[in-house]
Structure 1
């Protein structure tokens, strides 16, 4: 066999072996059981399932943000444009003087009850400055009957021009605050409804608890807003009146300038007698209470003083003869 033929046989043998090997691999791949998915497809399906579960749990906050993104609270300007009635709290203070403050205080209580109101506080006491009774009372009446109640309190005095000491009526417009609170309440209720929808679609316990806590916080804010609205409505329906009730002061009596000599003489005699009595009383007190002590102190001092004087005179007499004797001696 020559060399070219030998090379052709080797090439043929290699090609035949390669074809058989490829045919065997294809048959083993096709013989895989139908119940088992290919590794690549199984991995892809698992990845898709994992990605879906992750989006469902981890993006719950994003979902809430997306659901609440379309929610916009009502603005006060829009609420004001709805034609709401102005809400004004009326209040007043009045100071009066009457003959009997305690009786006037009872009448003010009756005025409060007659005008669909009640007494907030009240007290009757005696003034330290005038030693006369006074009273302070605060009442609330229906806002529609506020002017009527003020007029009835003014009617308690005898002379309105003099006995009504002061009066002040003022109002506080709370319309803007009321509108703001109503808008806030609507916004909170809308937010609560959105959160409840999100809670129904929550898939995990963690998401459910998170949304539940937010709903609890919103409920607390809703209750606070409702309480403030109720307080403003009650304040607008009832007006406050503070009443100070003083006693009418005693009239001041001014003495006349008439001159009466008899009264002057009588007053002078009385002053003379009173002065003499005071002098005699002082002298008696001096003799009885002070003089004994003075004698105890002064008498020894006088005796000592006299002894000192006598001693001085004796010393002078003894010194005089000695001087004379010295002068009589011859030089």
Structure 2
């Protein structure tokens, strides 16, 4: 008998888990006895095809502004703002932005200060070795900051951030309605909690160890899902309560470093010696090349030609006599 109860309970739990997985809400219309806005016990009036429908009541069709405002106020919306500021000192402005986040009841999620690499390397000097790496100028310092502030104080915090800047280079705001996702999670949570309660009742009536272990395994699975859903709901609630603001801090033209190369006489001396040795090495290479590769070819062509010309001149002289 207890085994049949277990099988029946598993069927109930499987149905509850299926509802939770689909994310559907419990059918309030069936629970309250209403279907399609009509009471279950209300009589159904049949109409002839010749009868005409009465005109709808204007008062019934009117939308209550207070109800619409209340419905809009209950929605969960997350806001993500981004702003790019030009400041004198990015590092100091980053500290001030962190203080603004704390002032408005928020906190800093991440912050970073870094040096932007130069776009192009500097040209080599005339005495610089071609195999050496080209010299580069030091880049400018930039910073970025990500903070969260209460959603109702986001506008004031953004305005305070603008006051830190010499110029506002760009600004953007995006929002996402998460009401439906939050409602689905709530429905799944209620179904899983009901299944957990049912399993606890079954465990109390279990008579054998096998039955207890079977119910316990189901409880572990459901409780894992409960913790996951509760964490997701908490994250959505916090995201809606605390807006995210990303701040990019760029240095002004006056704050950028002046690119002045330092004088390094020892480096110039080394580069000059390297250039001299490279020149002597090239000269010696040319001499060796001429002696080994060019001179034998010249001798093979010039010496026979010279001998032929000399013999021809001797024959001409002998014939003239």
Q: What is the TM-score normalised by the length of structure 1?
A: 0.57
Aligned with residue 9 of structure 2, among 38, 58, 64:
64
Q: Which residue of 2 aligns with 1:318?
A: 315
Name the counterpart of 2:198. 194
Structure 1 distance, partners of 2:94, 2:247, is 9
Q: Relative to structure 1, is the Cα distance of residues 186 and 235 closer, same or farther in structure 2, using a 3 angstrom cutoff? A: same
Once residues 295 and 203 of structure 2 are traced to their aligned partners in structure 1, the CA distance between those partners, rounded to angstroms, is 116
Relative to structure 1, the CA distance from residue 316 to residue 179 in structure 2 (aligned partners, 3 Å threshold; closer, same or farther) is same
RMSD of aligned residue pairs (Cα, Å)? 4.1
Shift of 1:312: 2.2
- Equivalent in the alignment of 1:143: 151
Give the distance between the partners of 1:306 and 1:207, measured in 2 at CA: 115
Higher relative contact order (CA 8 A, sep 6+): 2
Rounded to whole Å, the distance in 1 between the matches of 2:192 and 2:304 is: 114
- Which residues in structure 2 correspond to 1:55-94 (within 5 Å)? 56-64=1-9, 75=25, 85-94=74-83
Give the corresponding residue for 1:152: 160
Indicate the residue corresponding to 2:218 in structure 1: 214
Name the TM-score, length of structure 2 as normaliser: 0.59
> What aligned pairs does 1:157-306 form with structure 2 within 5 A after superposition?
157-158=165-166, 163-249=167-253
**Structure 1 residue aligned with 2:106:** 117
Decide which of 84, 99, 102 is 2:91's aligned counterpart.
102
Distance in 2 of aligned mates of 1:307 and 1:213 = 107
What residue ranges of structure 2 are gaps of 5+ in the alignment?
A: 30-67, 120-138, 256-278
Q: SS where residue 152 of structure 2 aligns? A: helix
Task: Give 3-state SS (helix, strand or coil) of 1:170's partner.
Answer: strand
Distance 1:315 1:67 in 2: 125
Shift of 1:69: 9.5
Aligned length: 226
- In 1, the alpha carbon distance for the partners of 2:11 and 2:141 equals 70
Check whether the contact 2:81–2:245 (CA below 8 A) recurs between aligned residues: yes
